[in-house]
Structure 1
Amino acid sequence: MNTIKWGIIGCGDVAEVKSGPAFQKVANSELIAVMRRNGTKAKDFAKRHKVPFFYDSVNDIINHKGINALYIATPPSTHLEIAKQCLAAGKFVYLEKPMTMNADEAKTLETFVKENHKIVVAHYRRNLPAFQKVKALLDANSIGKVYFADITILQSTTNNVIAKTDDNWRLNPETSGGGYFHDIAPHQIDLMLHYFGSIKTAEGFSTSILNNKVADIVNGIIEFENGIQFRGIWNFIAAEKDVKDECKIYGENGTITFSFYGEEVLLNISDKNNVFSFQNPAHVQQPLIEQTVNYFLGDRENPCTIKDGVEVMKILDTFTT
């Protein structure tokens, strides 16, 4: 095998720009087919993106003999069963986050994965330049011993970074697993695990105010095995004037500050600010997809393992149940 030939299951808003075109741009990678239950929309996506085949059936795209890898970009409620189908058919899997509805489903999938299976979880932010810079600064001991990290995500009902869909499925817990928090927090929690390692203990609280089905406000704390402390607040009904997106890491010699949706990293040491600016790729998942392709071809280690995904799901459940 010298080329990964992809199919996309769920060619909706995420696949349109963030990920879909990257499968055609990465070396040794081809996008062969797409699938959506609405066949008209699948055909439209295929035509616009010059994809040879389109389907309205999961079984049909899985059984396409020319495909050896599948990107699962459906809502989380279908992730577990579709991933099991794909792996059972001998396909490689790139699985959108959150990887499942909850930690129990994540552990079920982890148990299902065999030695010959290859599956990558799409926590793509760890491969974007700003977040790689944060990791490099931490690895270089730029702020000395790290004491704690603080995340503040405040979104209003009108100023929200999360894409809206016609049915707004992200606010239906039977489809999404838990609202806006479950949609964006996997990226943030994954980065904390990526930066600070194994967790010793975690605790969280959540409340529903405007939407009694999902949490509007989530508050969580973590103690890592290395002693680093973490606290995070996610509020999706904040006042417009209070909208904020920030992570600040505090060390003995200064701080590292960054946004999850910006392209700058601020290093403050002894009241001196260093600003590092970056530009994300047009298709933000492309760096991780490139590493995934290389992993599937046997040229590198798994860039984001199912174990990584399970740990993230455990924290999501801890903070909200």
Structure 2
Amino acid sequence: MPDTINWGIIGCGDVTEVKSGPAFNKVPASALIAVMRRDAARAEDYAHRHGVPKWYADAHALITDPAINAIYVATPPSSHELYALAAIAAGKPVYVEKPMADDYAAALRIAHAAQKAGVKLVVAHYRRAQQRFRKVKELLAGQAIGDVRLVRLELAKPPLTEHELADPRNAWRVDPVTAGGGLFHDLAPHQLDLMYYFFGEVERVTGLATNQGGLYHADDMVVSNVLFKNGVVFNGTWCFNAAQAVDYCEIQGSKGKISFAVFGTDSITIETGGNTETIHFDALAHVQQPMIAATVQYFLGKGLNPCSGFEGAEVMRMIENSCGVSL
């Protein structure tokens, strides 16, 4: 077992600039030593700006670098399977971005490959490691609002403008070929994974999806209903063609409710017996840092897996069923 996890990143795009990349050097027993991007100039620029010793334009060269003992796959979902399987074949533990793959079948192939090879695999559903959502889970486990009955979630955003769609950093997110779907596939994994983290195994998922605005090929409206095996019912609505932005989740229990924004404010509100309490949490400089810290401990053999490949695959199943795909 190594003393330090020496990371190589495949796909050093926007998500790694602040959300994740710098955290690899801020977590104990962790170091970012190489990055890869197909555009060699941009890979070199990233390495220079972030003080990374090595850069590559070829993923195979990074994966086979003997100094690297863990791989972070941060490319768009369409190539997650390719790179994750390559890293697993090389015997190197993998931290793969969400959504885990472009579909449920691919996610399962990755999870089974890691299991068969005995290689550690973590899916970057990083919100479950943040203090705010760990507190929600603690409150639910402690019966702070009694028995949970219903969860209502709504996310709405105005449509992307022509100017925004012309930016490649946005365009791939609404391209089903690259992203596996539209903005629902990009954003809903955070929310659906939290529900899975809070409530456990899923009994049934139904849903529908449609393209109301016709601004791009991906669906811009999704409605999902989930019945968890513990009896909790979830209803979620995602609209990416709305007049106003909404980010709201409400967990209703037999004695009160907990409400919060998944992507917005760093607070949660608990209402019980006519009393209201709001708990505020410090904003994180790098939102993935708690998850990366937990992943490093797992890779070092000092902690549990914070989000397994099979958990990531189950979230992909929830995504597909929410879009009306029967499995």
State yes or no: 1:31 paired with 2:35: no
CA distance in 1, matches of 2:219, 2:195: 21
Q: 2:271 aligns with which of 268, 273, 276?
A: 268
Q: 1:151 aligns with which of 140, 149, 153?
A: 153
CA distance in 2, matches of 1:64, 1:266: 48
Q: Shift of the alpha carbon at 1:270?
A: 1.7
Aligned-partner residue type, residue 204 of structure 2: T
TM-score of the superposition, structure 1-length normalised?
0.96
CA distance in 1, matches of 2:112, 2:286: 32
What's the counterpart of residue 220 of structure 1?
224
What is the aligned-residue RMSD (CA, Å)?
A: 1.5
Is the 2:30–2:296 contact (alpha carbons within 8 Å) kept by the matching residues of 1? yes
CA distance in 2, matches of 1:102, 1:293: 27
What's the counterpart of residue 72 of structure 1?
73
Q: Secondary structure at the match of 2:219?
A: coil
CA distance in 1, matches of 2:287, 2:178: 24
State yes or no: 1:250 paired with 2:256: no
CA distance in 1, matches of 2:99, 2:62: 22
Aligned-partner residue type, residue 235 of structure 1: C
State yes or no: 1:297 paired with 2:297: no
> Where do 5+ consecutive residues of structure 1 fail to align?
none
Is the 2:88–2:117 contact (alpha carbons within 8 Å) kept by the matching residues of 1? no
Q: Shift of the alpha carbon at 1:158?
A: 5.2
Aligned-partner residue type, residue 136 of structure 1: E
CA distance in 1, matches of 2:60, 2:277: 52
Aligned-partner residue type, residue 31 of structure 2: E
Relative to structure 1, the CA distance from residue 282 to residue 309 in structure 2 (aligned partners, 3 Å threshold; closer, same or farther) is same
Is the 1:200–1:225 contact (alpha carbons within 8 Å) kept by the matching residues of 2? yes
CA distance in 2, matches of 1:107, 1:115: 14
Aligned-partner residue type, residue 239 of structure 2: N
Aligned-partner residue type, residue 63 of structure 2: I
Aligned-partner residue type, residue 119 of structure 1: L
State yes or no: 1:282 paired with 2:285: yes
Is the 2:104–2:320 contact (alpha carbons within 8 Å) kept by the matching residues of 1? yes
Q: Which moved more, 1:164-173 or 1:224-233?
A: 164-173
Is the 2:91–2:117 contact (alpha carbons within 8 Å) kept by the matching residues of 1? no
Aligned-partner residue type, residue 184 of structure 1: L
Is the 2:85–2:113 contact (alpha carbons within 8 Å) kept by the matching residues of 1? yes
Aligned-partner residue type, residue 308 of structure 2: T
Aligned-partner residue type, residue 214 of structure 1: A
> Where do 5+ consecutive residues of structure 2 fail to align?
none
CA distance in 1, matches of 2:227, 2:212: 28
State yes or no: 1:311 paired with 2:314: yes
Q: 2:209 aligns with which of 203, 206, 214?
A: 206
Q: Shift of the alpha carbon at 1:280?
A: 2.7
CA distance in 2, matches of 1:199, 1:273: 31
What's the counterpart of residue 57 of structure 2?
56
Aligned-partner residue type, residue 120 of structure 1: V
Aligned-partner residue type, residue 43 of structure 1: E
Aligned-partner residue type, residue 66 of structure 1: A
Q: Percent of counterpart pairs with the same letter? A: 44
Relative to structure 1, the CA distance from residue 226 to residue 166 in structure 2 (aligned partners, 3 Å threshold; closer, same or farther) is closer
Q: Which moved more, 1:222-231 or 1:149-158?
A: 149-158
Q: Secondary structure at the match of 2:251?
A: strand
CA distance in 2, matches of 1:167, 1:187: 18
CA distance in 2, matches of 1:281, 1:103: 31
State yes or no: 1:230 paired with 2:234: yes
Q: Secondary structure at the match of 1:237?
A: coil
What's the counterpart of residue 16 of structure 2?
15
Q: Shift of the alpha carbon at 1:279?
A: 1.4
Q: Secondary structure at the match of 2:311?
A: helix
CA distance in 1, matches of 2:223, 2:170: 27
What's the counterpart of residue 169 of structure 1?
172
What's the counterpart of residue 135 of structure 2?
133
Q: Shift of the alpha carbon at 1:201?
A: 0.8
CA distance in 1, matches of 2:140, 2:169: 41
State yes or no: 1:180 paired with 2:186: no
CA distance in 1, matches of 2:91, 2:147: 45
CA distance in 2, matches of 1:125, 1:93: 18
CA distance in 1, matches of 2:12, 2:83: 14
CA distance in 1, matches of 2:94, 2:33: 15
Q: Secondary structure at the match of 1:210?
A: coil
Q: Shift of the alpha carbon at 1:111?
A: 2.1
Q: Secondary structure at the match of 2:18?
A: helix
Q: Which moved more, 1:163-172 or 1:303-312?
A: 163-172
